[in-house]
Amino acid sequence: MKNMKNLIPFLMLITLVITSCKKEETIVVEDETPIEVQLTATELEMMHYMMEEEKLAYDVYVTLFDIYGTIIFNSISKSELTHIAAVNQLLAKYNITNTASSTIGVYNIEHIQELYDALVAKGSLSLIDALTVGAIIEDVDIYDLEKYLGETENADIISVFNFLNCGSRNHLRGFMGQLELQGVNYTPQYITQERFDEIVNDSHETCASYTLD
Let me know how long the chain is. Answer: 213
Confidence of residue 38 (pLDDT cuts 50, 70, 90): confident
Backbone dihedral angles phi then psi of residue 42, each to the nearest 5 degrees: -65, -40
* 165/149 Cα distance (integer angstroms): 10
Q: CATH for 41-200, among 3.90.400.10, 1.20.1260.10, 3.80.30.20, 3.90.1170.50?
A: 1.20.1260.10
pLDDT at position 209, please? 87
Say which amino acid occupies 138.
E
Query: Which of helix, strand or coil describes residue 1?
Result: coil
Average pLDDT over residues 62-74: 98
Give the pLDDT of residue 37: 63
pTM: 0.82
Measure the CA–CA gap between 80 and 54, rounded to whole angstroms.
Answer: 6
Q: Where are the domains of the chain?
A: 1-33, 41-200
Q: What are the backbone angles phi and psi of residue 125, rounded to the nearest 5°?
A: -75, -40
Are the CB atoms for 184 and 128 separated by under 8 Å? yes
- Whether the pLDDT of residue 16 is over 90: the answer is no
